[in-house]
A = this chain, B = another copy of it.
Amino acid sequence: MRAELVFTGSELLMGYVQNTNAQFLSEELARLGIEVTLHATVGDQWDAMVRVIGEALERSDLVITTGGLGPTTDDITKDAIAHLLRVPMVADQASLAEIRAFFRDKRGREMPTVCERQAMFPAGAVILPNYKGTAPGALIEKDGKVIIILPGPPTEVRSMFRRSVLPYLAGMPGRGDVVRTRVLKLTGIAEYGVQELIKDLGGQGNPGLGYLTVPGEVQIRVTAKHADAATAESMVEDLVSKVLEAVGDYVFGFDDEVLEKSVARMLIDTNLTISAAESCTAGMVAGRLTNIPGSSRYFLGGIVVYSNEMKTSILGVPGETINSHGAVSAETAVAMAKGVRAIIGSDLGLAISGIAGPGGATAEKPLGLVHIALATPRETICRYFRLPGERVGVRVGAVNTALNLVKRYLEGTER
């Protein structure tokens, strides 16, 4: 089963907005075993739109469009499709009532007349409700082809796809090999280093490995394609196991896992509180730990010590420790962790001191050197890392590494 995606909207051709629907829909269709053979982005001009959608319909079993469902005269996607299918446009009374209700309840006014267009559809369409906006979508089966009409805004596309389109497509016969994917997130190592360590595990084959670097993080994407979903899944899992054997120490999460959410759940489960003393990350660890609603249950506070004086005056790090070992040292990190734990009165005290650059690096203490200490009721753990990247990469990498140290301590894998 072959599909083409048609994105409509002159704002895409002008570069005003990023087309995030392309990746989302492509990934979802690959999971379903539907091969996407082309993406096309076309403006709000009648001739071009009719040509592009028409050619897609000729070549493919499934065509999905996004955009052009608004109330203005620029919004012509449904009209173009009705024209291609040789069916009239008809009003859907239920949609009309819903759009009227939206304006009355949410905007305190009558529906503008132009908005009637949003309730007009090619005859024979199944209407797809829009729970995140005003423009409903539609699904049309005709002459053995399926065309699915989605709105433009990404939140509306995601919601409508998951609620209405996914169940429909999952029930269609004739789909091909499904794709299964697992993403491993690593920190403390550069992409080139990861590739060196796992190069014998294969490249872009099936199963295959792909890489993506974002600041402070390298992602390994493990994918497999097979007619049978369970087989594709076990192909992925087998390769993931091998990857973990080689680079597992650097892995801090899988897929959409949010590291601070995992840490938060474990802290709440174990009824432990935490505080943070930060130098090079300067509040970023505290900011991440409090991203989670209800974070006051486990996070008590933090101290950002950007000067050596503050490390001594507020955290009680002995001036002697800083003088003999330096601000970026295991000794200072341990004293910071113990200090913040004592001052704030938390069960755990996390401390980070490192060289984020561009200044401050020396031959012995290079850019990316970070000491991380975790003071616990029984002992103080301290580790050092050499993080890759420039200032942003080192800082975000240090936050990921520090949160991962807490996670591993709570799991019992780091002591």
Assess whether A27 is in contact with B40, with CB atoms less than 8 Å apart: no
A387, CB-defined interface residue at 8 Å? no
CB neighbors of B among A1-30 (8 A)? 7, 11-20, 22-30
Q: Is A359 among interface residues, defined by CB-CB distance under 8 A?
A: yes
Integer count of this chain's copies in the complex: 2
Q: Are B300 and A303 in contact (CB under 8 A)?
A: no
Given contacts A300-B307, A302-B304, A307-B300, contact A41 B22 (CB under 8 A): yes
* A240 CB within 8 Å of chain B: no
Specify which of B7, B25, B52, B283 is in contact with A302 (CB 8 Å cutoff): B283
Q: With a CB–CB cut-off of 8 A, which chain B residues contact A7?
A: 39
Bound-complex Cα distance A291 to B358 (A): 11
| A106–B26 alpha-carbon span in the complex (Å) | 36
* CB of A79 closer than 8 Å to a CB of B: no
Q: How far is the CB of A217 from chain B (nearest CB, A)?
A: 15
Q: A30, A179, A287, A359: which has the most chain B beta carbons within 10 Å?
A: A287
A221 to B15, CA, bound (A): 12
Whether B293 pairs with A287 at a CB distance below 8 angstroms is: no
The smallest beta-carbon distance between A110 and chain B, in angstroms, is: 17
Contact flags A372-404 to B (C-beta < 8 A → 1, else 0): 000000000000000000011001000000000
- Which residues of B have CB within 8 Å of A15? 22-30, 36
Q: Which B residues are CB-close (under 8 A) to A306?
A: 290, 295-296, 299-302
Q: Which residues of A (272-318) have their CB < 8 Å from a CB of B?
A: 276, 278, 281-287, 289-291, 293-296, 299-307, 310, 314
